[in-house]
Amino acid sequence: MEKREKMYEGKAKVLFATDDEHQVIQYFKDDATAFNGVKRGSIEDKGVVNNLVSSRLMEILGLVGIPTHFISRLNEREQLVRRVDIVPLEVVVRNVVAGSMAKRLGREEGEPLVRPVVELYYKADKLDDPLVTLDHVEVFGWADDHEMSTIIELAHRINDILLGFFANIGIRLVDYKLEFGRLIQSPHTLVLADEISPDSCRLWDMKTGEKLDKDRFRRDLGGVAEAYREVARRMGLS
Ligand code: UDP
């Protein structure tokens, strides 16, 4: 496999083409942004840790039958993934009240939810990724009915697996964001794409409640790189 031109550069990752039109390389940067790019910075070795963590989580999900874009980790900062057409939705799964849910609904951060809640946000930086309903998704044609049933079912299955996985290493999986895509090679096949890492999850130490995720950066709590490394360490990755 040969690495070719840069196709796209996002806030935390860069995509490169390869000599196979159906496969791309995902490169993980150390750049960190929050509040839709208003806060910017860099977290030492974040790209390395997120590549490791996300590769392992995608591998585990793949092993239990969740279709994902992940093929293999190539080196410290790169992974080979199947090329997809991204569904323009951020699928947020919540087990505990935090972040925007706490603010929007006036609830206390840390309140456990009686069952997981799946929320959909329209991926549009200019609009600050607004919360949308299934009706919006359908009438604006971002995904069809069948795709949305698949996405929501996958989100719940992924949550069951990840909740147990993190609980096993003493971490409370509070909430996280998923993205799905249609395989370029087979547009009717939906797969989990993007990444699952401390950038896109809220992870709290089960005993102390300590935050081991990007909220340390968002809220200027310090120890950001150490927290990311701690997640990798507990996963047996360093
Ligand atoms: N999230 C993300 N990217 C986004 C928005 C949210 O990865 O653009 C993740 C975030 O890290 C958290 C979950 O999705 O784990 C829920 O985020 P929330 O809606 O509470 O938004 P935020 O706190 O980022 O305003």
- In the chain, what are the domains? 3-84 (3.30.200.20), 85-223 (3.30.470.20)
On average, the pLDDT of the chain sits at 98
Buried b / exposed e over 103-136, threshold 16 CB at 10 Å, is eeeeeeeeeeeeebeebbbbeeeeeebeebeeee
Q: What is the pLDDT of residue 238?
A: 82
Confirm or reject: Cβ of 45 under 6 Å from ligand 1.
no
52-82 pLDDT per residue, tens: 999 999 999 999 999 999 999 999 999 999 9
Q: How far is the CA of 219 from the centre of ligand 1 (A)?
A: 13
Q: Give SS3 for 22.
A: coil
Pick from 35, 96, 175, 203 the residue to mutate for probing ligand 1's pocket: most ligand atoms within 8 Å of its CB. Answer: 175
Confirm or reject: Cβ of 28 under 6 Å from ligand 1.
no
150-175 pLDDT per residue, tens: 999 999 999 999 999 999 999 999 99
User: d(Cα 54, Cα 56) in Å, to the nearest integer?
Assistant: 5
Pick from 176, 215, 221 the residue to mutate for probing ligand 1's pocket: most ligand atoms within 8 Å of its CB. Answer: 176
Give 186's contacts (C-beta < 8 A, 6+ positions apart): none
Q: Which residue has the tokens 């990444």?
A: 195
